[in-house]
Homo-oligomer: A and B are copies of this chain.
Amino acid sequence: MKRTTSLGILCLVILTVLVFGHVLEATNADKRAADGPLSKETETCIECHRIFSPGIVGDWRKSRHAQVTPKVGLSKPALERRVSAEQIPEKLSAVVVGCYECHSLNAGSHTDHFDHFDMKINVVVSPNDCKVCHAKEADEYGASKKAHALENLDKNPVYSLLVDSITSLKAVKGGKMVNLGSSENAKKETCYACHGTEVKMKGMKKISTDLGDIEVPDLTNLPNHGVGRLNPDGSRGACSACHARHSFSIEVARKPYTCSQCHLEPDIPAYNVYMESKHGNIFASKYQQYRFDAVPWVAGRDFTVPTCAVCHNSLVVDENGQIVRTRNHDFGSSLWVRIFGLIYSHPQPKDGRTYMIRNKDGLPLPTAFAGQLASEFLIDRKEQEKRRLAMEKTCRACHSRSWTEGHFQKFAQTLVETDTMVGAATAFLDEAWKRRLADRTNPFDERLEHLWLRQWLFFGNSVRYGSAMSGPDYAAFKNGWWELSSNLEHMKSIVHRPKR
């Protein structure tokens, strides 16, 4: 009997280990076990919407919001916290973050507030609502160029002219081209899809549903999840641009696919260059072995190559708990130079509202036509140096000091060289304007001007991104030096076209 007892106990011990292991595994694999209750209101929402929008409910159920109460979130050690507010209202704190918790906030400021089957809710959840728990992130974001992306187009007559030149309808009548002007629709489907639209309350409208006719707010310019969206509560931006839909996933935001929606070739080939780089190669190979939902995010353990988020906005630590870089939702704030040429590369603007810049030519552009910086509106050398050194520190988590410095020396020279190649194209255009081969009234609407635009917006940018993140094809044959040189020769062949 002793033997059987021992056997039994042995079994029990091993079983405990196994069962515990299983439970742990299950917890990791399926996080659906909530640690707190749903609010009564959210329960009511779900009761109907699991029938009328099952995808939304299903998406939310898999989210962290559906699992964890703000109270638990607040109780974590500083480095592990995902909520930055010091305090969260008791009513919100004790339940998981459900439909009603987000769609009912700050009712007073929401022009889209309405009565929906006896629930008082808002259609749009804005950064100002997310701020209740994520205060620091909302504030940082609010100061960024991204938050002002719509106004930075709309309030800048140069950019507005570019948007109009591209999107205006054209017709050909009697052999002549006629400009029919730009529709709101074409703008929304192109530039404003990323930059954001103005979502305004027009009034209530009646819609037919399976439960009969109901009244809902009639909002302008939706769907849109642009980064600088103007919301019906007056706030700017859409957190869902990156933390998409109802899973609000940190994993989705940290993977490069999110950034790729706006930052892609031909004008901003950040994603394309990344995927072609050594970083992107290894990411594509190994990302299934990485952890994208860890907070803090541990370099060398949770990932071995960076995604966009690692270098541009996440909190990253090392295995010893030392901070590699701090979290910041004003993504430009860790950059010392803006490689997106307008028309040349330049130090980052001081203020997210770039429409307030004035250059030497009197235009709201960070550089003048001949290259001078609008320095007063741009960060100074000291601030640039500080930011560059912080970036180098991030690189040095995986690269030697020599390697890192060598990289940024190459990058700095690339900026000088690409600006020279843009300057050459600009000189050709200027000559063409002087010789009346083109008309400078609108610099964006003639054949030669289109070639000029490609030079700075497509080819100069590609080489700079290629150099910044080591994707050599984008510096070479794919919109790179090959095109910089070939396009310039093309411009020359037009400006100097020989008579036959």
Contact = CB atoms under 8 A, between A and B. Distances in A.
Contact of A500 (B183, B264, B301, B499): B499
A397 interface: yes
A406 B219 CA distance: 10
Contacts of A219: 402
A55 B414 CA distance: 27
Interface string A434-472: 000000000001110010000001100001001100101
B299 A58 contact: yes
A384 interface: no
Contact of A252 (B8, B249, B281, B481): B281
Contact of A223 (B9, B407, B414): B407
A294 interface: no
A14 B8 CA distance: 13
Contacts of A7: 4-5, 8-9, 11-12
A244 B168 contact: no
B480 A402 contact: no
A399 B7 CA distance: 55
- Most B CB contacts (10 A, CB to CB) among A55, A262, A413, A423 go to A55
A478 B265 contact: yes
A445 B413 contact: no
B320 A282 contact: no
Given A299-B55, A320-B54, A420-B169, A281 B261 contact: yes
| A interface: dominant SS | helix
A304 B59 contact: yes
A4 B8 contact: yes
A255 interface: yes
A278 interface: yes
Interface in A317-347: 318-320, 322
- Most B CB contacts (10 A, CB to CB) among A14, A183, A251 go to A14
B278 A255 contact: no
A488 interface: yes
A22 B11 contact: no
Interface in A260-315: 260-262, 264-267, 276-278, 280-282, 284-286, 288, 299-301, 304-305
A188 interface: yes
A79 interface: no
A57 interface: yes
Contacts of A190: 472, 475-476, 480-481
A78 interface: no
A33 interface: no
Contacts of A288: 288
B189 A463 contact: yes
A43 interface: no
A171 B406 contact: no
Interface string A105-145: 00000000000000000010000000000000000000000
Nearest to A458: B477
- Most B CB contacts (10 A, CB to CB) among A7, A284, A480, A495 go to A7
Contacts of A421: 169-170
A193 interface: yes
A76 interface: no
A239 to B, nearest CB: 14
A1 B171 CA distance: 96
B472 A194 contact: yes
A81 interface: no
Interface in A167-190: 167-173, 175, 177, 180, 183, 185-186, 188-190
Given A189-B414, A258-B281, 13 more contacts: A4-B8, A11-B11, A11-B15, A54-B300, A55-B299, A56-B300, A172-B424, A172-B425, A185-B417, A190-B472, A190-B480, A262-B473, A457-B477
16 contacts: A8-B8, A14-B19, A50-B320, A54-B397, A61-B300, A166-B476, A177-B424, A193-B475, A207-B402, A223-B403, A244-B278, A249-B285, A252-B281, A258-B281, A446-B493, A457-B477
For the complex of A and B, 4 pairs with smallest distance between CB atoms: A58-B300, A55-B398, A193-B472, A7-B8
